[in-house]
Structure 1
Amino acid sequence: MQQEDTISAIATPPGEGGIGIVRISGPNAVKTAAEIFWPKSCASFTEAESHRAYYGKIMDGGRMVDEAVVILMRAPHSYTKEDVVELQCHGGSFVLRRVLELTFRHGARPAEPGEFTKRAFLNGRLDLTQAQAVMDLIEAKTDSSLRMAAGHLEGMVSKEIKGLRHDILEMIAHLEASIDFPEDDIDDVVIDEVRERISDIREKLVKLVKTAHTGKILRDGLETAIVGRPNVGKSSLLNALLHEERAIVTDIPGTTRDSIEEYANVAGVPLHIIDTAGIRATDDRVEMMGVERSRGYIEKASLVLALFDASSTLQKEDEEIIGLLQDKEAIVLLTKGDLAAELTKEGFEKLLPGKTVLTISTKSGEGIEALEQEILSRVYGDEAIEQEGAFVASAREAHLLNEAVSDIDAVLDTIENGMSADFVVIDLRTLWEKLGEITGETVGEDIIDEIFSRFCLGK
């Protein structure tokens, strides 16, 4: 499905750098590039061979704008399956804008966000799951995130979905054949086979749905709040998890007066960590606002790391935090484990039954590895850590899979109620179309536009 117009955009991030790329795609990509690029090794760029790099000058009429190395990829052997030209210029913001303006003047139009990848999808190079993986690959924060995105780009999830759709289509064909060419008892045999096969597909979909929790965390990060009263070691823990001195650590209460937000790589899991202000009564208006924010972060965080100074007796502020943790997903951390203990693990297990309690020392490193392993087990659960590429990553995909499971239940109900094969076929087609929305084979144009609008320009 080739597009009629030619698009152009800067494909490298804003700012200065050694190289900046202007990407052109469409039926007139080569012609547009030939108007502004004068290669050294051939008379005209229109004669250039595909998949070769050419050195030359970017020209505005008779005036040179920049030197460049230009790569031509002729259709269909390109990212978009159209003619694609990449102008690799010097990476200054002004020079890239000038080159981009020249492409507009000579036949291209500004690309919309994600339009290059959208064309790759529309032209059949990628399915929708793979296309979404492109942005996940760009935004990956850890090796695990990267492996998941790369697996999706290779088609690990979409191959599974396409295989299931093929199985469902076979069932539909068998049922329709039994309807069109009825024989004694053949209808019942086919129905029994459909019941068995569709139950197997349900198990596979339920297994995929279970990976969505882990997939979302690997994609977006686990919202994690570090809370506690002043001077329990919150900033020290943040620094330990980041493996750098990000937060100021002093023995003066109230040093952290507002929240600090960072991404940490904890055993491959991206944690979106919020180091909150110490919870305590204060007359300082700024610190008071920080304390109120800390209470709010406890409410909205997916995981709370609650710190208590094991070398001190329980304070009024500690009791308030214990009250806030009752219904939260939390790990209790008894800090300053290198000092004589006043608070015990057994005591906290009684105060917060069901919560994991660990003793740590950011000074000696005690307990930090155990904390990382606890976080890892909460994120992955029973899922195999080496199979990130098979995890469901997006909320859209998870929602569609849950709907597909409901569609399967409808198929099974139709069979159990003894309804005719015609009704089973209708339910199977609904299921087949639902799974097609995941890969983009049966998705509406409005959904496609909405998905690609989230992409960055030039991709």
Structure 2
Amino acid sequence: MPTAAANQSTIAAISTPPGSGGIGIIRISGDQSLPVLKTLFTPQDPNCTYESHKFHYGHIVHPASGKIIDEILAVYMQTPKSYTREDVVEIHCHGSFLVLQNVLELILEQGVQLAEPGEFTKRAFLNGRIDLTKAEAVIDILSARTRKGVDIAQQQLSGSLYNRIDIIRKSLTHMRALIEVAIDFPDEDIDIIDREQLLKQLDNEVAVPIERLLKNADQGKIYREGISVVITGLPNVGKSSLMNTLLQEERALVTEIPGTTRDTIEECLDIHGMPVRLVDTAGIRDEVGKVEELGIQRAMTLINEADLVLFMLDGSKAVSDGDKQLFHAVQHKPLLAVINKSDLDSECDISSLTPDVNVQQIQISAKHQQGIEGLKHAIFTRVTSGTDQWEEEGCAPNIRHKAALTKAHEACQHIQDALSNNLTTDLIAVDLQECLNHLGDIVGETTTEDILDVIFEQFCLGK
């Protein structure tokens, strides 16, 4: 694992979001944290001892002019009991951006370096306070768009993924030790290695757990990144009304005039903890003006990029040729048929729309908000297959983890083939180490510097 360089520079950054607020926090980390604080801070208590992990009240004062910059609370956290395992100082100012900037500039004038994005968390990782999965969980907490997303990240921060990877790696390490003994004592190979037993152990303790993690990764991606759901249909079938009903606000303009929506409207929605980018599109029809035509072209582009299409029909009317043409244009996508206006007499027979394709249909009334919960459940079930097994296992690997797990699984298959075909222990040892290395990439023990840079560049300043 990469390690923190000796005598690193002291760094500082504003750790709270830009804008006005009651409190703003500046964080400093490194050997010069406390000396810098003593230079700029005038405590109310003249006998202040700067006891670690205790707040101290006073003022930030310009060291040259003696001008008071702000009334603050300061806390010093002595190494190693800090976020970075270095000496850390946090200065709690009033939440004005100008005040924070003035204080930060004074700190930088003392020879402190402005922190790079994610540099505090990177130091926490390099100094052994957290592993790489926990560092990535911090990113997920900061970027989560639903409570479920926060829950997933908190589970990973508490070590759920690391613990599962660690169990697998310990089993592989034990196998590697047996193989190494067999290599050192080749004449005793038959007595040392029971290949059939080793195959069972490899399957139960390595292959199957990795396969479960890979399955959970697909679910985790949905909750981290969300999905795109596009509403499409002919003009006046109720697309904008459905958009407003799902959002519980008048986001889209609704009129009886065909072509009211000429461009796409996008909003975010939380469906059972799954972030959904909901897109209302222009009604697709022939013989339209130039502006509406551009909206229709954009709608088709978004449909092709969508994870799920809600194909809307007017339930009070028979399926038209226009409905059929549009359906054939979008049927290559995962979709749900949404039959609107269920409060009126039904004239819509979906079998005439798609006699050869079994499409799930949901009856709703966007105007009276009927069937909306059923539609939300259908969206959730269609995308997630209705399974939340990952929640029981307590972890959901991200894309980087999935790539490493896939390579580890391939190495595991090579080991199984080598054992089954009675290949030499030297070859088995190589594949075992390769599997260990890929799992080590996940927790950060064998991760290269360039990968680390990519990971920590995703952080905001001050974290």
TM bucket (normalised to shorter chain) is over 0.9
Name the structure 2 match of 1:380: 384
Q: 5+ unaligned residues in a row in structure 1: which ranges?
A: none
Residue deviations 1:36-58, cap 9 Å, x none?
Answer: 111112445xx301111111111
Match status 1:54 vs 2:56:
yes
Name the structure 1 match of 2:440: 436
Aligned residue among 270, 276, 279 for 1:274: 279
CA distance in 2, matches of 1:386, 1:211: 5
Which segment is superposed worse, 332-341 or 355-364?
355-364
Report the Cα offset of residue 346 of structure 1: 4.4
Name the structure 2 match of 1:63: 67
Name the structure 2 match of 1:7: 11
Asked if the contact 1:241/1:266 (under 8 Å) is kept, the reply is no
CA distance in 1, matches of 2:137, 2:323: 43
Report the Cα offset of residue 317 of structure 1: 3.5
Letter matched to residue 244 of structure 1: E
Q: Structure 2 vs 1, CA of residues 3 and 373 (structure 1 numbering), >3 Å: closer, same or farther?
A: farther
Letter matched to residue 402 of structure 1: T
Asked if the contact 2:319/2:349 (under 8 Å) is kept, the reply is no
Report the Cα offset of residue 192 of structure 1: 2.4
CA distance in 1, matches of 2:151, 2:348: 41
Name the structure 2 match of 1:305: 310
Name the structure 2 match of 1:370: 374
Q: Structure 2 vs 1, CA of residues 71 and 326 (structure 1 numbering), >3 Å: closer, same or farther?
A: same
Letter matched to residue 214 of structure 1: Q
CA distance in 2, matches of 1:96, 1:261: 35
CA distance in 1, matches of 2:312, 2:228: 17
Alignment of 1:150-165 (within 5 A): 150-165=154-169
Which segment is superposed worse, 52-61 or 293-302?
52-61
Asked if the contact 1:147/1:388 (under 8 Å) is kept, the reply is no
CA distance in 2, matches of 1:442, 1:383: 33
Q: Structure 2 vs 1, CA of residues 17 and 206 (structure 1 numbering), >3 Å: closer, same or farther?
A: same
Asked if the contact 1:242/1:265 (under 8 Å) is kept, the reply is no
Q: Structure 2 vs 1, CA of residues 381 and 443 (structure 1 numbering), >3 Å: closer, same or farther?
A: same
Q: TM-score with structure 2 length normalisation?
A: 0.94
Q: 5+ unaligned residues in a row in structure 2: which ranges?
A: none
Residue deviations 1:385-441, cap 9 Å, x none?
Answer: 671773434211111111111111111122222111121111100000011101111
Report the Cα offset of residue 348 of structure 1: 4.5
Match status 1:37 vs 2:57:
no
Asked if the contact 1:228/1:306 (under 8 Å) is kept, the reply is yes
Match status 1:327 vs 2:332:
yes
Asked if the contact 2:327/2:353 (under 8 Å) is kept, the reply is no
Letter matched to residue 286 of structure 2: A
Q: TM-score with structure 1 length normalisation?
A: 0.95
CA distance in 2, matches of 1:74, 1:349: 69
Paired residues in the alignment total 455
Secondary structure of 1:183's aligned partner? helix
Which segment is superposed worse, 310-319 or 331-340?
310-319
CA distance in 1, matches of 2:135, 2:189: 48
CA distance in 2, matches of 1:359, 1:15: 45
CA distance in 2, matches of 1:317, 1:425: 64
CA distance in 2, matches of 1:290, 1:137: 36
Asked if the contact 2:318/2:349 (under 8 Å) is kept, the reply is no
CA distance in 2, matches of 1:17, 1:221: 30
Residue deviations 1:74-95, cap 9 Å, x none?
Answer: 1111111111111111111111
Name the structure 2 match of 1:457: 461
Letter matched to residue 57 of structure 1: H
Letter matched to residue 197 of structure 2: E
Name the structure 1 match of 2:319: 314
Asked if the contact 1:187/1:421 (under 8 Å) is kept, the reply is no
Asked if the contact 1:228/1:318 (under 8 Å) is kept, the reply is yes
CA distance in 2, matches of 1:96, 1:209: 44
Secondary structure of 1:17's aligned partner? coil
Secondary structure of 1:151's aligned partner? helix
Secondary structure of 2:163's aligned partner? helix
Asked if the contact 1:179/1:187 (under 8 Å) is kept, the reply is no
Letter matched to residue 58 of structure 2: G
Name the structure 2 match of 1:107: 111
Which segment is superposed worse, 59-68 or 391-400?
391-400
Asked if the contact 2:390/2:396 (under 8 Å) is kept, the reply is no
